[in-house]
Amino acid sequence: MRIERVADGVHLVTGTNVNWALVAEGDAVTVVDAGYPNDGSDLLASLEAIGRAPEDVQAVLLTHAHLDHMGGIPSLLAKHHVPVLTGATEVAHARRDYEEQITPVQMLRQCTHVAGITWFAQTLKAVLPHARMSVPSAAPVPFGETLDLPGSPVAVSTPGHTSGHTAYVLEAAGIVFTGDALVTAHPLLPGPPRPQLLPDVFSEDEREMVSSLRALAELPADVVVPGHGPVVRGDLDEIVRGVTAGR
Ligand SMILES: [Zn+2]
């Protein structure tokens, strides 16, 4: 686990090839995403590392219900029950009324090079034995409204990676949590970190992802905290144009 301060009260935590974020205001904390199932103990440790406890968490904002983003939630709920909020469509995904996730066969097909084999092994270890988990208590978050939570986040509908993918913006701080709608690195992406989309195999609808990127470009933010890879700072419109060029 690695913790990086992004801004006052805002921390990016990197677990097993995936990020989550902690937004503290006074004692209270908003958690954005939660890592893999096996990152659950690190999620709790990250709260402790910034001087907070599970009881200080007001809500978990989930970008989407893939196992690498919601896996740590049960570990937190076991300590302290908090609301888990995400876009209305993604709520059904978090409850596993339906599933949009890379299949074991698709995962195996990534094992054609060393990076793919390493990723496959790390992912299996991070997921098992909780690959069938769900979050039955997930509830819908309204889009476009300032939420009464630490950081005053606003949920933004960003479908494509999953049907109900949801980003969150902290308007006053100029920070957007893009989840997997926009990432900067991943073990299966070649080259140095840069704003980009995840490989196709992870996403439901790439055309919809590109439309969602254009929605992200409109947001009042100049700090991107992605679901995978390092933070990127700069003009959001320019960052998005770099990713959508040629698409
Ligand atoms: Zn992811």
70 is a domain residue: yes
117 is a domain residue: no
User: What is the amino acid identity at position 145?
Assistant: E
Whether 124 has a pLDDT exceeding 90, the answer reads no
Please state whether the predicted TM-score (pTM) of the whole model is above 0.75.
Answer: yes
**226 CA to centre of ligand 1 in angstroms:** 9
**35 CA to centre of ligand 1 in angstroms:** 9
pLDDT, one tens digit per residue, over 80-120 is 999 999 999 999 999 999 999 888 888 888 888 888 888 88
**179 CA to centre of ligand 1 in angstroms:** 7
On whether the CB atoms of residues 62 and 34 are closer than 8 A, the answer is yes
114 is a domain residue: no
**66 CA to centre of ligand 1 in angstroms:** 7
CA–CA separation, 10 vs 152, rounded Å?
12
**246 CA to centre of ligand 1 in angstroms:** 24
CA–CA separation, 107 vs 10, rounded Å?
33
107 is a domain residue: no
| Mode of pairing for the β-strands spanning 223-226 and 232-233 | antiparallel
Reduce the DSSP state of residue 52 to 3 states and report it.
Answer: coil
**31 CA to centre of ligand 1 in angstroms:** 16
65 is a domain residue: yes
Query: Which domain CATH number covers 49?
Result: 3.60.15.10
123 is a domain residue: no
**100 CA to centre of ligand 1 in angstroms:** 12
128 is a domain residue: no
174 is a domain residue: yes
pLDDT given at position 147: 98
Question: How confident is the prediction for the chain on average, in pLDDT?
Answer: 95
**8 CA to centre of ligand 1 in angstroms:** 25
pLDDT given at position 111: 82
Nearest-CA neighbor of 80 among 52, 122, 108, 120? Answer: 52
Give me the helix-helix angle, 236-244 and 206-217, nearest 10°: 160
Whether 5 has a pLDDT exceeding 90, the answer reads yes
Domain that holds residue 174: 2-101+133-244
Structural domain tally of the chain?
A: 1
Question: What is the average per-residue pLDDT within 186-197?
Answer: 92
